[in-house]
Structure 1
Amino acid sequence: MRRNYSLDFFRGVMAFCVAIGHYFYWNGNFSIPLSFILAVDYFFILSGFVLAFSVLNKKEFNCFSFAKARFLRLYPVYIFSILLTFIVLKLLHHHLGKLDFGDIVRILIIGEILPFVQSSSFIFFEPLGLSWSISAELWVGVIFFPVLHFFDKKANQLVFPFLMLIILICFFIINNYSTNYMNIHYHKFDKLMPFGLIRALLGYALGAFIYIIVKYMQNNSTKKSENIISVIQIIIVFFIIYFYAKNDYIKNNEYYSIFLFSLMIISLSFNKGIIFKLTNNIIGNWFGKISYPLYLLHPVGIVINKEIIFSDIFSIPALLFYIIFISIVSILTHIFVENKFLLYFKSKSTKTMKNY
């Protein structure tokens, strides 16, 4: 399947939304919508969609190879971002406390969202805090996708109700027990279950669910009208902007962003429509490539901008510098860290890495 750069484009847009949102909120300026926190749900749903395509089109599936591939895919940028941020904070004389053994284990296994005992004096600095979503993607994924593959190959008629059940249960839990709408990650549903894991499971299940829908529509429907798909894409983008792009948006609407994201991914997956054509290009390609480094590296950009470069961090020059700086750092990280390691791992285990 030819890569859909439009889906990558919106992943990059969501990463920029998070980066700009944190720039303002972490510096005490609440003049922009808090809805940037919903971008993480787009990441989960898109990952679920893409991984479902990979997993469900396999005759042979090895859960250990899958887990290894996912870990190696996420780890280089993750650990580089942590080390770079740690070094910058130390050079700026930030007090970070002392690492204990539990902290080291949690960092090394990308285990931020796992229920470790939080008793150390080590300060949880960014991007470690942001890595709850990376941790959730890894650990939920290595359980969810093997189970999904098993159902698909051994009990295919159960895949659809299995995914529906997960979506309904997760949505019900978040909708009824969330302490802060969708702005929950380390918050606990119970003593052992952070909401972040439930949020990731919901996104993965939705992504897999819409992959099955798209596959069915592509196999059983007549040729899709370009004009109809364009209208659908415009309407979806309009509703996303209408509900979430204002500072006083209704928090109750946060729950429905996941379904709007799902509809957007479905509409773009047909490789047609005006929004697809505008974003399925080299810009979309690069937005996708830098989205992961950008998500983890923007905290160090905020620190550098605030403590070294500008006194007025909300000025136009300061904001432009921040956006250009994190873009360049993310591009360099993709080229010299992410891509280099991916090529290295592929050379060591081509079959494993190319499949996931």
Structure 2
Amino acid sequence: MKKEVRKKKLYNIEFIRFVFAICIIYFHLLHSYIMPHTKDSSVYQYLSDQVLYSKYIVECFFIMSGYFLYHTIRNHPDWTVGTFVCKKISRLWPSLACSVIIMAAFFGKTFYASFLDLLFLQSSGLATDWKGLNWYVSAFFVAEVFYFLLDKCVNDPNKMKLITCLLVYFGYELNISGTDGEFGRNMIYGVFNMGVARALAGVGLGYLIGQIYESASAKWRARRTVSNTNDIKETVVISCLELVTLIMLIINFFFNQYAYENQFIVVVLFAAFFICQLTGKGVFSRITNNPVAGFAGKYAYSVYVMQEVAFAVMKHTWWKSEDFIYDHVVISLGISVFMAVAIGILTYYLIEKPGAKIMIRLFSPFL
């Protein structure tokens, strides 16, 4: 029996996932949800304008997911498509179902939209509803299953690389050309869904990074034993690169007046930053690559999925205190983000984790 390959956990990536989930919450708060309760405050409007492009943090999630998909496929060559789909549904569906059902039962989400969400069809091109916060989940699910199928069908690694490169290029090209330098979610040309195109491009790029990095790092290690490259030089170069790319990403996401005209730069910058994290040699990755920093990474998915519920709860409770929100900007935003994160963490323990175990048992005859 073949022994399963277990890779060391990348706590720095887990740290990034959790921080990015919080950033997405912050964006959605200022993009629309808290804004009707701010009494047209110029401060909130200024902050909202500044975070305009932080919505494209989603592209980073797609890339990270693609990288881990590649290693999942390599570590489990015996998995069938059915096994992969069952495991992916077990991982994604409990928290998604919790969010959708609560929104439908208590906050007016339509039955049609809720039903399609539960089937991972929102923003898939097969449903007209693509504006909800959880569009990412369906596009992500479609892309992951597609690449798993593609990997099973294409035995030649070079052909796989070629097909994936083409999908990455056209997925990004469709978005950038169709939105004049940004990313979309709507249908284009009556055929292509831009959300799925983003997912196929991002997950595909992450898959390629995993494939190429694994090969390149093996060759680098072999050459390094011969040339005895200086560790200090590696650390300095990688630290500088990760610092520059991180600063440029922060500027683009949170300082709109200095943002880049073509948002494809997010893909380029994050890909470079992500590769730096994989090496584990930069200062940032060394600081964050530990169990304490990466502990909260497991909450990222539920935090992301449950934010719509959190916003709905706050809208019907303390957001009604508009005078307080107007007078205390930092405190109001802090409380809002904290509550959204807390609801996500609670969902992880009450729904996501036990729900995944239950669904694995239900799917066990098919695994």
Q: What's the counterpart of residue 169 of structure 2? A: 168
Matches within 5 A, 1:8-23: 8-23=14-29
Q: What's the counterpart of residue 318 of structure 1? A: 332
Give how far 1:350 is off.
7.6
Kindly provide the CA deviation profile for residues 64-117 of structure 1, in whole angstroms up to 9, marking residues without a partner as x.
21112112211001011122333442xxxxx55x535xx454133121113346
Structure 1 residues 175 and 104: alpha-carbon distance in aligned structure 2, compared to 1, 3 A threshold: closer
Given that 1:306 and 1:313 are in contact with CA atoms closer than 8 Å, whether structure 2 keeps it comes out as no
Q: What's the counterpart of residue 115 of structure 1? A: 125
Structure 1 position 184 matched with structure 2 position 175 = no
Structure 1 residues 83 and 348: alpha-carbon distance in aligned structure 2, compared to 1, 3 A threshold: closer
Given that 1:243 and 1:253 are in contact with CA atoms closer than 8 Å, whether structure 2 keeps it comes out as no
Structure 1 residues 115 and 244: alpha-carbon distance in aligned structure 2, compared to 1, 3 A threshold: closer
For the aligned residues, what is the CA RMSD? 2.5
Kindly provide the CA deviation profile for residues 208-262 of structure 1, in whole angstroms up to 9, marking residues without a partner as x.
1111121012210035633332222212212212333312244523112012111
1:301 and 1:107 map into 2 onto residues whose CA distance is 18
If each structure's helix is expressed as a fraction of its own residues, which one has the higher value? Answer: 2
1:352 and 1:214 map into 2 onto residues whose CA distance is 33
Q: What's the counterpart of residue 25 of structure 1? A: 31
1:301 and 1:351 map into 2 onto residues whose CA distance is 36
Give how far 1:322 is off.
1.3
Give how far 1:56 is off.
3.0
TM-score between both structures, scaled by the size of structure 2: 0.82
Q: What's the counterpart of residue 236 of structure 1? A: 245
Matches within 5 A, 1:59-208: 59-89=77-107, 96=109, 99-100=111-112, 103=113, 105-116=115-126, 118=128, 129-151=132-154, 154-178=155-179, 181-185=181-185, 187-208=186-207
Give how far 1:11 is off.
1.2
Instruction: Point out where structure 2 has 5 or more consecutive residues left out of the alignment.
Output: 1-6, 36-44, 225-230
SS at match of 2:50: coil
Kindly provide the CA deviation profile for residues 295-334 of structure 1, in whole angstroms up to 9, marking residues without a partner as x.
1222232233343113243523322221221222111111
Query: Aligned residue pairs: how many?
Result: 334
Kindly provide the CA deviation profile for residues 261-290 of structure 1, in whole angstroms up to 9, marking residues without a partner as x.
111221111233211122223443233112
SS at match of 2:306: helix
1:285 and 1:352 map into 2 onto residues whose CA distance is 33
Structure 1 residues 209 and 229: alpha-carbon distance in aligned structure 2, compared to 1, 3 A threshold: same
**1:109 aligned partner, one-letter code:** L
SS at match of 2:182: coil
Matches within 5 A, 1:250-329: 250=259, 252-309=261-318, 310-311=321-322, 312-313=324-325, 315=328, 316-329=330-343
Moved more, 166-175 or 69-78: 166-175
SS at match of 2:316: helix
1:242 and 1:319 map into 2 onto residues whose CA distance is 20
SS at match of 2:267: helix
Q: What's the counterpart of residue 40 of structure 2? A: none
Instruction: Point out where structure 1 has 5 or more consecutive residues left out of the alignment.
Output: 90-94, 119-123
SS at match of 1:261: helix
TM-score between both structures, scaled by the size of structure 1: 0.85
Q: What's the counterpart of residue 228 of structure 2? A: none
1:183 and 1:40 map into 2 onto residues whose CA distance is 10
Structure 1 residues 294 and 104: alpha-carbon distance in aligned structure 2, compared to 1, 3 A threshold: closer
**1:334 aligned partner, one-letter code:** Y
Given that 1:14 and 1:36 are in contact with CA atoms closer than 8 Å, whether structure 2 keeps it comes out as no
**1:75 aligned partner, one-letter code:** W
Given that 1:305 and 1:313 are in contact with CA atoms closer than 8 Å, whether structure 2 keeps it comes out as no
